[in-house]
Amino acid sequence: MEWEKSKRLYEEACKWIPGGVNSPVRSARAVGMNPIFVKEARGCRLVDEDGNTYIDYVGSWGPLIVGHSHPDIVEAVRRAAEKGTSYGIPTQLEISMAQKVVEMVPSIDMVRMVSSGTEATMSAIRLARGYTGRKKIIKFNGCYHGHGDCLLVQSGSGLATLGIPGSPGIPEEIVMHTLSLPYNDLGQVEEVMERMGKEVAAIIVEPVAANMGVVLPRPGFLQGLRKLCDAFGTVLIFDEVISGFRLAAGGAQEVFGVLPDLTCLGKIIGGGLPVGAYGGKREIMMKMAPVGDIYQAGTLSGNPLAMSAGLATLNILSSAGIYEVLEEKANYLVHGLAEGAKAAGVSVRMNRIGSLGCGFFTAEEVCDFESALKADTQAYAVFFQEMLKGGIYMAPSQFEAFFVSLAHEKSDLDRTVEVAAQAFERVRE
Ligand code: PLP
């Protein structure tokens, strides 16, 4: 496989764009490579500028649950664009989107659209602080909630990938109100809440962590957070930017039966266009301007192209049996990958829920950031490179998820397992 054109484009990009990429984790630095440059994509397949084809398990980092260039999405965007790309004036589409979200996500009574997941979490934190009149927030190590200042503490995603603990440019005074605790350790949260619960505005959590690789909540963890928030009048925020519409129509909150006060959404809700949303209890959402006095706004919020792409995606996901299909595909894939690793004698812990998964190159159980960081990133780099050469595109980082879409056919999954079996052999060498 040749990457001559990608290499030239990367060199050119580096002259004009810091690191040649518009989001750090796209750089394949952590796996010892340059990024490939994509020309086009359809279904589960990517084509790069050199003409190489890959079966894609990144899906634009989660949004493309129905696959690339799905005809319904393309048509919805085309139709919307013909009528205008943005108005900054309310549209009926925004009502349809809000109704759809309320219908699908159990805890949401009202929703506000924004343009990214980062905006959703920033706004939800501001709302929680404004609503409670408190300053402190609790988050969890290895969870990533976008790049808003107060949440960029012990974050996963690109920071974990590149080994960056926090970020210069964020004043101490801003993060001094953020407490970051170990994921899945309810005891520590209880202890902190006993001491200062009345000062804590919000606990924000990825109900399934998917930015330190994939880490499932231990039984009782989410329920315990709910109880603590109830006891101390703290707002429970589920960041479902990844898990929303991915694990079930109602996201992780449906799967685990725990209802947060506020939910942050992104990725799938935009069908591949730039969108985020936050929503929740009516009583809390009504504090937002213009009815309330907590401010948040956006020139492109509720953009008609994004609403159309998102609605078309959510409509597909509302068909009966869709999540069972995704479950079956992902289970089949993970089973095959685990067998390949075992046959090669390589220790890999497969963490998966629905169509969201990750293989950690470690023999130990991965239940939090500390155990995730014990994974062998060099082994992952070899695995990534071998998969890429075999025409399989995985995330260029041990600490990111893989996403199975409706567009992955059994033959794609079989091919993936076949290439992976060889890749695991190379890892062992
Ligand atoms: N929250 C979670 C759980 C995410 O995974 C991400 C992005 O990966 C974000 C928030 C931020 O979303 P965005 O990149 O759209 O700003």
What is the interface pTM, i.e. ipTM, of the complex?
A: 0.99
pLDDT at 160: 66
182: cis peptide before it, omega within 30°?
no
Q: Can you give 274-309 as a three-state secondary structure string?
A: CCEEEEECHHHHCCECCCCCECCCCCCCCCHHHHHH
The pTM for the full model equals 0.97
CATH 3.90.1150.10 residue ranges of the chain are 4-69+320-428
Whether residue 6 has its Cβ less than 6 Å from ligand 1: no
Give the mutation target among 144, 214, 265, 397 for probing the ligand 1 site: most ligand atoms within 8 A of CB.
Answer: 144
Residue 34, classed as helix, strand or coil, is coil
- Cβ count within 10 A of residue 1: 13
Q: What spacing in Å lies between the alpha carbon of 239 and ligand 1's midpoint?
A: 9
Instruction: Among 1.20.1260.10, 3.40.640.10, 2.140.10.30, 3.30.2350.10, name the CATH number for the domain at 75-317.
Output: 3.40.640.10
- Is CATH 3.90.1150.10 correct for 4-69+320-428? yes
- The CATH 3.40.640.10 domain(s) of the chain lie at 75-317
Ligand 1 pocket residue status of 182, Cβ below 6 Å: no
188, with CB counted inside 10 A (0-12, 13-18, 19+), is middle
Q: Which SS3 state, helix, strand or coil, does residue 427 take?
A: helix
Is any ligand 1 atom within 6 A of the Cβ of residue 241? yes
Question: Mean pLDDT in runs of 10 for the chain (429 residues)?
Answer: 96 97 92 96 98 98 98 98 98 98 98 98 98 97 95 76 72 90 98 98 98 98 98 98 98 98 98 98 98 97 98 97 98 98 98 98 97 97 98 97 98 98 96
Q: Is 41 in the pocket of ligand 1 (CB under 6 A)?
A: no
In ligand 1, the atom with minimum distance to the C-alpha of 274 is: 15
Nearest by Cα to 249 from 306, 328, 321: 321
Residue whose C-alpha is closest to residue 28's, from 161, 147, 145: 161
